[in-house]
Amino acid sequence: MPLSMYQASVPVFTQALDALGNVLAKGEAHAAAKKIDLAVLLGARLAPDMFPLTRQLSIACDFAKGATARLAGIEVPAWPDEEKTFSEFKARVAKTSDYVRGFKPAQIDGSEEREITLKMRDATRTFKGQPYLLHFVLPNFFFHATTAYDILRHNGVELGKRDFMGQVPGM
């Protein structure tokens, strides 16, 4: 049986988002144990020209919710970027996971050829559904999720590959 668009999106996003929520919880616990100001971790970057942890988290969530909605052919919900605390970011990640988890296979499957147009900063780009998911969304989503993990790990949070992977379905 071929891999469906639903299988390549919703379970992948929810596994990674749930893991990211757990990574944030470990980051928050680490900061409390080491008496580190949470704002320091939230503002941390891997390099001066990279976004801080807060922006990495928001972008990862936006890619997951935006892609799922677009593949389903519905309006992408607008969520303001107002989070300032670990608790608020954990809630955003959980809200995103719940939103994505709410889609059914029938809403996503068959979207391989759906035309998806994105307005970017300086251009408009049009994709077909499958290349949009596989070659644009998933690499971007995992870049930002990985960078969020890396920022916390770089700042001393005891994290490993299992934390990044989360609960692998079927294992």
Q: Where are the domains of the chain?
A: 10-163
What per-residue confidence (pLDDT) applies to 83? 96
What per-residue confidence (pLDDT) applies to 170? 73
* Mean pLDDT, rounded, for 131-140: 98
What per-residue confidence (pLDDT) applies to 171? 67
Give the residue among 145, 140, 142 at the shortest CA–CA distance from 24.
Answer: 145
> What ranges make up the beta strands (E) of the chain?
115-119, 124-128
Tell me which CATH homologous superfamily contains domain 10-163. Answer: dinb family like domain (1.20.120.450)
Point out which residues pair with 127 in neighbouring strands.
116
pLDDT tens per residue, range 104-127: 999 999 999 999 999 988 899 999
pTM across the whole model? 0.95
Percentage of residues of the chain with pLDDT beyond 90:
93
What per-residue confidence (pLDDT) applies to 97? 98
